[in-house]
Homo-oligomer: A and B are copies of this chain.
Amino acid sequence: MFSSPVIDDRLITTFGRLAEAYNRLERRLGPAMQAEAGLPHVWFEVLLRLARSEGEQLSMSALAEQITLTTGGVTRLIDRMEAAGYVERRPCPTDRRVSYACLTDTGRGVLNRAATVHARNLREVFADFGESDLDTLDKLLDRLREAAPHLAP
């Protein structure tokens, strides 16, 4: 018994590796963040993106693109985070369609605590990765990210 050649395609296997690596890390670090910092990993990702943005705010669609969710998903995510007091919505002064999600003081505090925890956990996972390994990985991932631009409907 032997397998059809196409299912052993090199790229299928590589992509499978990528999925497995990411999912395992997520499954390890996600619950850890929830347990040790009290917030889901997606929330952290949102807070982080906001903190790194001009004025600590991003429009809903910009956020959607950055964290790879639909705008519908982001609406509800921000609903929850706003209810928790970590972000707040602000209208855009020049375009009344857009609304910004903006980091609150509470959100900034939570983010810093969570980032500390997260960084510590990551150091454990990446324990045997040297600087050059990380550089190489970063570059490859960047090329991959650029190879899959978001869609143009």
State the A residues within 8 Å of B (CB): 3-4, 6-29, 45, 48, 51-52, 66-68, 108, 111-112, 115-116, 118-119, 122-123, 125-129, 133-134, 136-138, 140-145, 147-151
A17-B145, A24-B148, A145-B17 known; A4-B128 Cβ under 8 A: no
Whether B21 pairs with A144 at a CB distance below 8 angstroms is yes
Whether B25 pairs with A134 at a CB distance below 8 angstroms is no
Give the CA-CA distance A127 to B147 in the complex, in Å.
8
- Residues of chain B within 8 A of A136, CB atoms compared: 136, 140
Give the CA-CA distance A129 to B18 in the complex, in Å.
15
Give the CA-CA distance A78 to B27 in the complex, in Å.
21
Give the CA-CA distance A20 to B45 in the complex, in Å.
11
- Residues of chain B within 8 A of A115, CB atoms compared: 4, 6-7, 9, 12
Whether B23 pairs with A68 at a CB distance below 8 angstroms is yes
Ordered nearest first, which 9 A-B pairs have the shortest CB separation? A23-B68, A11-B122, A24-B148, A22-B22, A17-B141, A9-B119, A21-B144, A6-B115, A21-B141
* Number of identical monomers bound together in the oligomeric complex: 2
Whether A52 pairs with B6 at a CB distance below 8 angstroms is no
Of chain B, the residue at the smallest CB distance from A119 is B9
Beyond A21-B145, A24-B145: 7 further Cβ-contacts under 8 Å?
A12-B119, A20-B68, A21-B141, A21-B144, A24-B150, A25-B148, A128-B147
Quote the shortest CB–CB distance from A113 to chain B (angstroms): 9
